[in-house]
Amino acid sequence: MAVARAVSDGAATLFDHVRAAGDLGILLTQIAVAGKTIARELGRAVLIGQLGTTGETNVQGEKVKKLDLWANEVLVDALTDSGRVCTLVSEELAEPVHLEHRCADGSWVVCFDPVDGSSNLDVNGIVGTIFSIRRRSREARHAMVDAVAPGTVQVAAGYVMYGPATVLVLTLGDGVDAFTLDQTIGEFLRSHARIRIPARGRIYSVNEGNATKWDPAVRRYIDYLRASDGATDRPYSARYVGSLVADFHRTLLEGGIFLYPADTTAGGKPSGKLRLQYEGAPMAFVVEQAGGRASTGRDRIMDVRPSAAHQRVPLVIGSPEDVALAEDFMAGRR
């Protein structure tokens, strides 16, 4: 009865939204099931000893949380069981997983971060699953060809945000929609249709603890946003969760800019911290589909062709006017 009422109220379900997408719809349904499973586990993790670390370090050089590994297994199983996936690139797996026996025509390549922002888990912070779906290239000689394709080949991308509500944000290349999990019926119901990011916002989001590591032009840009000038609607407010899904989702809905700049100091991360294939590229696809922009500070994120599956990239993403101004500062035009 509840399902019928929800649907009869015109609240489209995620299934309604993707069922015309054929194989891709099957894949997205599997990702949604994985998202529901992860949401349930996150809600009870502290009660069943699932918080904390495993004692291992992953390919990123980061401490592995118990839930990182568990969620990775949930997603690998869900994607493999779909029977539609040829190659998997996971933040938690050192190498791409190539399922040769699945790579018939029309198979898909999925890049994903099972629990992005997992450093927030032990303090009940917001985290998310980020996914980027690409069609397997016909001429792919081996997994690495597809694992390092640029963002322009994406067919679908999005994230599941585990917050007060569990929200799945998705683009299929024709706009961006958000679906909120109705726990009473276990369905993702469309809560935001055809999301458009404001042309300009009033919030900037960056880890200012890294300010001494940035290029001076980045510091000048942030100082500009913090300066008081009524005529240009400044200062901006600062918001930083330290979880890309949370900081990006706020930027998508309210406008403004998120930055994770390069660390220009000796021994730092010259390409920044965030990974292109399962953080930068999917968020860039979503934001562009919502009318926003995503760049390295110089180049369009969607065009960057990585040399490795876990390549990092500086990320400047958000409202088009804010990103354009940031690029002006970084190019020395301001």
The closest of 117, 50, 41, 125 to 75, measured between CA atoms, is 41
Q: Which residue has the tokens 């100082």?
A: 223
Binding mask 256-275 for ligand P6P (x = CB under 6 A): -----------------xx-
Stretch binding ligand P6P (CB under 6 A), from 143-151, 165-173, 241-249, 291-299: 241-249
Question: Which uninterrupted H or E stretch holds 157?
Answer: strand 154-162
Count of Cβ atoms closer than 10 Å to residue 173 Cβ: 11
Q: What share of the chain is helix, strand, coil (3-state, %, to 5)?
A: 40, 25, 35
Per CB under 6 A, which of residues 94..123 are in contact with ligand P6P?
116-117, 119
Query: Least CB distance from residue 61 to ligand P6P, whole Å?
Result: 11
Neighbouring residues of 20: CB distance < 8 A, sequence distance ≥ 6? none
Binding mask 157-196 for ligand P6P (x = CB under 6 A): ----------------------------------------
Supply 70's token pair.
């568990």
Binding mask 271-310 for ligand P6P (x = CB under 6 A): --xx------------------------------------
Q: Total binding residues for ligand P6P by CB under 6 A?
A: 10
Distance CA 114, CA 91 (A): 7
Measuring CA to CA, how many Å separate 317 from each of 62, 186, 251, 260, 331? 24, 32, 9, 9, 16
Stretch binding ligand P6P (CB under 6 A), from 92-100, 239-247, 264-272, 288-296: 239-247
* Position among 80, 207, 264, 311 found at the interface with ligand P6P (CB under 6 A): 207
Residue 243 as a binder of ligand P6P (CB under 6 A): the answer is yes
Stretch binding ligand P6P (CB under 6 A), from 11-19, 134-142, 243-251, 291-299: 243-251
CA angle 254, 258, 264 (to 5 degrees): 170
Binding residues for ligand P6P, rule: CB under 6 A, are: 116-117, 119, 207, 242-244, 247, 273-274
